[in-house]
Amino acid sequence: MIKILIAEDERPIADLLEMNLSRAGYSCTWVGDGLAAIEKLEQETFDLALLDVMMPGADGYDVLNYMKPMNIPAIFITARTNVADRVRGLHEGADDYITKPFEIVEMLARVESVLRRYNKGAAHFSFDGVEVDLPSRTVVKNGEPVNLTMKEFDLLVLFLQNKNIALFRETLYRRVWGGDYTGEGRTVDLHVQRLRKKLGWEEHITAVYKVGYRLNG
């Protein structure tokens, strides 16, 4: 299982991160200051670190510099929004930069992207008898292959990566079809309907009023 270190001194934000990352299948460890983060890095092996820039003890830059020899990817999370701060974070070696407040779906997508860059992303999903293998793009349910189109497969993976999270139609369209959403709600709806029918997931993938869809699990 992918292990993520969350170094964030604001507990409500840390709880939000931990809850949603855990739901997405990651193992999370939380610390509330930079020195505790360094101590954890000495004790355990992590696949990714989410670092608040401004923390007591040692700030995110200090922790990042300490991590460099370990080859652990890092994403900065901060309330600072100016370009100079973002540029400094990236120059210091951060792999990505998320500003508060952030959308959970975007945060999960950035985590997934960084892990994939380091070849640490999940390659296999299992849910309710369905086995999904990303490298081969194959789907099997109860031992029987399921024939999905490319878009249906991408939708399925997106739902599995965001279980119990309501996904806006705009998000689904942007992540699966690419480009800006311009009201192609019917396209999304038709693909979701076909996906539900092929998997027998009419009760698992539910419509969320005025939002989009959610995979309940």
Pairing of strands 167-168, 74-78: unpaired
CATH superfamily to which 3-117 belongs: Response regulator (3.40.50.2300)
What per-residue confidence (pLDDT) applies to 164? Answer: 82
For residue 82, is pLDDT > 90?
A: no
What per-residue confidence (pLDDT) applies to 169? Answer: 87
Model confidence pLDDT, tens digit, residues 9-36: 999 999 999 998 888 878 899 999 999 9
- Here the tokens at position 101 are 């407040």
Q: Do domains 3-117 and 124-215 have the same CATH topology?
A: no
Looking at this protein, which amino acid is placed at residue 186? Answer: R
- Here the tokens at position 88 are 């400094």
Confidence of residue 134 (pLDDT cuts 50, 70, 90): confident
Pairing of strands 48-52, 74-78: parallel
Model confidence pLDDT, tens digit, residues 92-120: 778 898 888 888 888 988 898 888 887 66
Which 3 state secondary structure label does DSSP give 151?
helix
DSSP codes of every residue in 36-90: HHHHHHHHS--SEEEEESS-SSS-HHHHHHHHGGGT--EEEEES--SHHHHHHHH
Of 70-74, 81-85, 168-172, 175-179, the range with the lowest mean pLDDT is 81-85
What per-residue confidence (pLDDT) applies to 175? Answer: 81
What per-residue confidence (pLDDT) applies to 62? Answer: 93
Model confidence pLDDT, tens digit, residues 160-216: 888 888 888 888 888 888 766 666 668 899 999 999 999 999 999 999 988 899 999
- Helix residue ranges per DSSP H, the chain: 11-23, 34-43, 60-67, 83-92, 104-117, 150-161, 169-176, 185-199
CATH class of 124-215: mainly alpha
The pTM score is: 0.63
Domain assignments of the chain as residue spans, ordered by start: 3-117, 124-215
**Residue 86 CA: distances (Å) to CA of 37, 74, 77, 78:** 21, 13, 10, 9
pLDDT cut 70: percent of the chain above it: 90
What per-residue confidence (pLDDT) applies to 215? Answer: 94
